[in-house]
Every structure is written in structure tokens, then in C-alpha cells.
Structure 1
Amino acid sequence: MLTEEGKKRRDALDAEITERIAAFKVEQRKMLEELAEIGIHVEMVNRLPNLPTSDYVQALPILIKHLRREYSEGTLASLARSLAAKDASEYWDELVAMYLASAHRISTGPGNLAMALAAAVAAACPKNRLDDLTNLVKNQRLPHRVLLLTPFKKRRGRDPAVARLIEELRHDPALAKEIGRWKILPSQASLRSH
């Protein structure tokens, strides 16, 4: 049971969330109208990352267009998370440029644009751009690099070069904890014994 002070805090938080949602709906109105014109009906763009990308793949050009615009941190982060999909690979260079530009941006509210862009960069990375992604994940000045590991984790058992990269990154303080949680595959075991 909540105390009176706890109830007041809960009510204040509920009011803040309600106000934030109302602001998102106002801010996103034109974007939501564009999405509705192509059959994507959501009350806020913030809901899109909860859907399978296949449900809104035709909206990716609209989402990237709006990601280039000025919106609140929460809306921009939702747009970036919506682009965290293999289907967004044609926008990869632009997502990387935005991620690099956001690296030292101070988060100004709910949502974290740099984190969402890191997830988008990893998910949208074309197979032929893994060397570029390697350079990003090795750049210790970039935030949220742990999110860039996803494509490497998936390929570490099939690609000896990726397995070697993982062994190298295992010593990076920002990445070591995450990599340490991964199951060691047979192809990696031979690398670790050297």
C-alpha cells in the first residue's frame, strides 16, 4: 500500500506521462497523417518500434525523412528505433552520420537519440559494410558501442575474422561485460587457447 507521499509521486508521474503523450501526439500529427495515407495507423510514432518491421516497411522513407527534422528527443529516438531493421539498410550511411553527430549530444528529455541510432546502425548494417561497423565499434569515443556488437555476435561462429574481432574486443572495458555473457562457440575456443 502506498503512503500519501507515494500516491502524490505516482499521481505526479502519471500526470507527467499523460502530458508527454499529449505533446508527442501534437508534435507528430503531420507525420502520423503521412503514415495513415499509406495504411500505417498508430496513435504515436513511439509505438512503431513495438511492431514487426514488416508491418511498416513501406513507411521507412517517411521515417527517415522525419528523422532529419527537428523534433523532441523522444520522437527522434522513436524514429531511430523504428529504423533499427535490416530493411533500413539503404539508409545505413545516413544513420551512421546521424549517430556520429549525436555522439556528444546531451539528452534533453525522455528518449536517448544516440542509443537509438546505435541500435539502428547495428540492425541496418549491410553485410558488405562490416568493416565500417568494425571501425565504429572500436572507436572508444562513441557512446553505446555495445549495441553495435549485435551483427558480430550473430556471425562469430561462421566467420573466423569476426571471431578474432570478438576476442580483441573482449578486452575493451565498455564491451567486455557483454561479450563475457556470450556462449563461447567452438570456433572461438581455438582462438582463446592461443
Structure 2
Amino acid sequence: MRAVGAKTAAELAAELELRRLKDDFHRAERAREEAERAEWYRLLEIAEKPVAEDLRSMGLDVDSAWDLYLIPDSRPKAIPVLLKHLALDYPDRVLEGIANALNDPTARPWWADLREMMLSTHREAVRDRLAATLSGIATRVHYTDLLDFLGNDKLGSNRIYFLRPVNRIGNRISPGQGRAVIETVADDPILGVEANRILDPQRSEPEPIGILIPR
């Protein structure tokens, strides 16, 4: 008589076979995902080649705009090249890398170009990265532009990037000036959550925005 819970040889073999099939399926699925990822990077490298070649022709030894952060003081030389390529038709991830590389204080002399491109582009990836860039490099002289961005409904959720620089710079211009602006959008369906984080930082920790890591 077979003990309760004991398995016959046939049952055990069937169980092992099922486990093997599952393992084979998972291995095949992982291999497929890795192959797709490798192909994605290969196509991005091909797409980004003109950008990399232009940068290397200027003495910046990189394979991608994402790598410019590795070369100190590279941005002043790279920025005109980046602006040229940002206006061209690349995959979104390439455009994100180009725009992300512009997020450096040395890009301030090109503020007007960056502003115009953010306002006129039809590529959401470009608009998002340029909004993050402009918010990151803004100073007091850009405060009026920041207020205009914040009130521009066409920028949608990208306006969130400008809340903190408006608050910070406005308060430096005059105590409470930036905060007063933030208070006006505290109930806004798009801006309200971040606005309330700024107004009451003890209520919830601010979430970092505008940051992209190299690919």
C-alpha cells in the first residue's frame, strides 16, 4: 500500500518534466528579452552615430551624448553641436540624451535657443528634457520666463519642472515672492501635488524630477 503523499515514479517523472519545460520556457524568454535589448542598443548606436562623429571631430572622445558628463568642461564646446542635432529627427532616446547633456550651467548663454526649441518642438521627449534643462540652469534673470512657462497650459505636465526654481528664485528676489506664486497653483490638477510638497515639505518628501541616468 502506498504511503499517503508518496509519489509514484511516473508522477515524479511527470513533475520533473513539467519543471524542465517551465525552466526551458523561462530561459528562452530571458534569451529573447536580452536579444531584443541588445538589438535596441545596436539600433540606437547606429542612429546616434552622426552625433558621436560630430562630437569626436571636436576632440570629444565619446560614443554618445550621454557620455559627455565623463569629460570635464566638455559642454561649451559640445553645446552648438547638441543644439544642431536636437533639431533633427532621431529616436526619442537619442534626443533625450542630447537634451539631457545640455543640462549644464554653461548652457545659459543659449537660453533663448533652448526656450524657443522647448516651446516649438512637436516631440514630447524633447520638450520634457528641455523643460528639465531650463529649470536646472535658470537664474534670477530668467525669472520672468519661468513664470511664463508655469502659466503656459500648452506645456502640460512639463510645467512641474518650473515650480521649484520659481519658488527658490522668487524668494531670493523678495521674501515670500516665490511661495506666493506656488500658492496660486496649490489646487491645480497637474501642479498641485508638487506645489504642496514645496509649501509643506514636512508633509511628504519631495521626489527628484528632471534626472535621467546615462544609458
Give the alignment's TM-score, normalised by structure 2: 0.69
1:116 has 2:135 as partner: no
Change (3 A) 1:47 1:65: same
Which residue in 2 is equivalent to 1:73?
92
1:161 corresponding residue in structure 2 = 177
Aligned to 1:37: 57
In the alignment, is residue 139 of structure 1 matched against residue 133 of structure 2?
A: no
Distance in 1 between residues matched to 2:106 and 2:168, nearest whole Å = 17
User: What is the CA-CA distance between 1:11 and the residue it aligns to?
Assistant: 3.0
Partner of 2:150, secondary structure, is: helix
Looking at structure 1, the residues matched to 24 and 193 of structure 2 have their Cα atoms a distance apart, in angstroms, of 41
| Aligned positions, number | 177
Match of 2:110 in 1: 91
Query: Quick one: structure 1 residues 91 and 13, their matched pair in 2 at CA, closer, same or farther if it must change by over 3 Å?
Result: farther
Q: Which residue of 2 aligns with 1:189?
A: none
Structure 2 gap ranges (5+): 1-21, 202-215
- 8 Å contact 1:84–1:120 — kept in the other structure? yes
Bigger shift: residues 130-139 or 119-128: 119-128
Q: Is the 8 A contact 1:156 1:166 kept in 2?
A: no
- Secondary structure of residue in 2 paired with 1:43: coil
Distance in 2, matches of 1:42 and 1:84, equals 17
- Whole-angstrom CA distance in 1 between matches of 2:190 and 2:72: 29
**1:70-89 deviation line (CA, Å, top 9, x unaligned):** 22221112111111222212
Query: Is contact 2:79–2:107 with CA below 8 Å preserved after alignment?
Result: yes
Task: Write the distance in 1 (CA, Å) between the matches of 2:120 and 2:140.
Answer: 23
Contact 1:156-1:162 at 8 Å conserved across structures: yes
**Contact 2:139 / 2:169 at 8 angstroms: preserved in 1?**
no
How far is 1:5 from its partner?
A: 4.9
Contact 1:31 1:66 in 2 (8 A): yes
Are positions 1:129 and 2:142 aligned together?
yes
Contact 1:40–1:56 under 8 Å retained in 2: no
